Amino acid sequence: MRVSLTDRNDYHQFQPLLYQVATSQLPAEDIARPHRSIFREHPTVSLCPGEVVAIDPSACRLTLADGETLSGSHLVIAAGARPEYFGVPGAAHHAFPLYCVADAERLRLHLQGLLQVAADESPDAAPLQIIVVGGGPTGVETAGALAELLAALAATGRLPSGWKVILVDRGANVLAPFSERSHTYAHAKLANDGVELRLHSGVAAVHGDRVELSDGDAIDTTTVIWAGGESASAVLGSAGLPTGRGGRVSVKRDLSVQGLQRVYAVGDAANIPAPDGSVLPQLGSVAQQAGGWAAENILRQLRGDPPEAFRYKDKGIMAMIGRNAAVAEVGSHRHQVEGPLAFAAWLGVHAMLLSGAHSRADAFMSWAWDYFDRDHPAMVEASATPARIAWGDEIADRPNIVVSR
């Protein structure tokens, strides 16, 4: 059996660590492992790089931007997500999304230029204000990392005091899926790090120099980071597939599409039903387990056996807030851990989920450096690109990351 893999990028990205690339804690190469490296020892996998512009699910056929077509006996749709701006005027044009490696690199370069300008301005200049939209894990982790970065720059004299990181969310709490205890902990830690929380407030419009809130207030800013939600890839909209919330494909319990037994959808491309009738959350653990389950179901079909309903093993949820500060709710019963222990658990889990031993080792060394040298991210952000260990990888095995300005 042969497998054809197509993607517009030549690498696999690890989305939970995008904010660390944006804030100079990790080099982009650590979370973007080339497909060539991943599948080098899998001769049955053919890499077919290209952007999919059309899907014919009934024929299990894809059309690429260059006109090439790919077809097979089965089709697995794992097209990922894109930012969802919910129709907010100006958001798509002025805000910085954080949903792919190129987004993270573009934001990092923007922040680097912004901070260098701020460092050269007179003390009487308006203080730097950065707005993060969205109080989920991505928004909280980004806001916490930015606050620590700006505090380190200010402490070393590279940035005037008075800076602000403002987190805006319509809800009553950040990290809404977490427990009330986690809400309280996260609020306290963010506030202690200098993050201003603007809850019960939505974004009404985004301009180049300010954000208008739904309560009528306006905040001056040069940088808006959008972590306010996501929807499925645009290519799914024209595929004629049944879709639900977020434009994601509605699948059956066995991850196949109704009426199309040879078509599967997983990850951020799918709304996967839980046994109780709800929809499983858009988590990396759900995507990872669903991908393996879909593969097993295809193998079952090829053997002449019926596919089986997906059984998700809930390992819990976690979020980083800052140095020695994280929350983790472990297992289906959500046993809660917070503080340094959750911080260490977060580092360990995310390092082990990275693809490739080199990336894991590099991440651990970068995190250790950051932990024992508080000024490390600030020095990198103010002067250079985060460095990666020279592992001796061939140039052909480095990801081709294209950053649009």
CA dist., res. 37 & res. 250, Å (int): 32
Catalytic residue among 84, 105, 141, 148: 141
Contact 100, 17 (CB under 8 A): no
- Reported residue count of the chain is 405
Count of other CB atoms within 10 angstroms of residue 26: 26
Per the structure block, which two tokens stand in for 304?
A: 């002449």
CA distance 385 to 377: 10
* Of the candidates 153, 130, 117, the residue with the CA atom closest to the CA atom of residue 19: 130
Question: Which pairing describes strands 223-226 and 129-133: parallel, antiparallel, or unpaired?
Answer: parallel
Give CA–CA dist 243/265, Å, rounded. Answer: 11
Q: 227-257 burial, b if ≥16 CB within 10 A, otherwise e?
A: bbbbbbbebbeebebebeebbbbbbbebbbb
> How far, in Å, CA of 270 to CA of 253, rounded?
11
Q: Do 257 and 242 touch, CB atoms closer than 8 A?
A: yes
Contact 97, 285 (CB under 8 A): no
**Sheet strands (E) in 331-405:** 335-338
Does the annotation mark 381 as catalytic?
Answer: no
Return the structure tokens found at 145: 């990392």
Structure tokens at 198: 């603007």
Q: What's the N-to-C CA distance of the chain in angstroms?
A: 42
The token duo for 257 is: 């599409």
Q: How far apart are CA 207 and CA 226, in angstroms?
A: 13
List residues with catalytic annotation: 141
